A = this chain, B = another copy of it.
Amino acid sequence: PGKKVLIVYAHQEPKSFNGSLLTIAVEELTKQGCSVTVSDLYAMQFEPRATRNDVVGGLHNPEMFNYGVETWEAYKRGCLSKDLVEEQKKVQEADLLIFQFPLYWFNMPAILKGWMDRVLVQGFAYDLSKSYDFGLLQDKLSLFSFTTGGGQEMYSKEGVGGDIRYLLWPMQHGIMHFCGLKVLEPHICYAPEAVSEEKRKEMLTAWTQRLKTLWKEEPIDCSPEWYFK
């Protein structure tokens, strides 16, 4: 109650299973007394490309464009583009970030990767020697909630896709942990398109149930052992 949640949502279709998962999260968390903000990336036509347009006004070094340096400098000068400043404000205020998306190619869709690339700027999310446990977004929680095309048996140690945790490493450790956020267990709905309507309903109920006790959860130990044990 009183907690702030930012849901970064990457699906084109409100009537999709991802859309239902989003609706459930908004409703359940609101019911708990949380304040919920949604960044609906496709609806916002969020720009995924990291370009010179992310800096308002002159560049630090117009002779040779370096995206990381330019956005770092622009952050310090308050010259990042408006859409980035707005997303950073939402992140800053949030106690919990939920990322809701369909898995595309063992990873998040490009529009969501673009959110990571552009919003989590040096100086804002991390800095020189301020990364991992010392990242600038400490005391925040993160949670990846996603759907897959393949079934759960594919994503096992013996399955063709390998353990699902293998593909969580770059997202959870390489991004969230890097910025200092704590990582809650991912929420994975396997192959909703391939199962029965009844099974789909069970999955939606399971998400509601999990959200009810989410604030009591302990973060995972975001070390190689959790992923590759």
Contacts and interface: CB of A to CB of B under 8 A. Distances in A.
A66 B161 contact: no
A148 to B, nearest CB: 11
Q: Which of A51, A111, A118, A167 has the most CB of B within 10 A?
A: A111
A88 to B, nearest CB: 16
A170 B167 contact: yes
A219 interface: no
A170 B110 contact: no
Contacts of A193: 66
Contact of A174 (B15, B107, B116, B132): B107
7 contacts: A48-B48, A106-B175, A106-B178, A114-B114, A162-B224, A166-B170, A167-B170
Interface string A129-152: 001100000000000000001000
B107 A107 contact: yes
B170 A224 contact: no
B107 A110 contact: no
Given A42-B49, A66-B193, A105-B120, 11 more contacts: A16-B64, A16-B65, A45-B49, A48-B111, A49-B111, A50-B104, A104-B113, A110-B111, A131-B160, A166-B228, A167-B174
Interface string A50-61: 111000000000
Contact of A15 (B12, B64, B110, B132): B64
A28 to B, nearest CB: 23
A5 B105 CA distance: 23
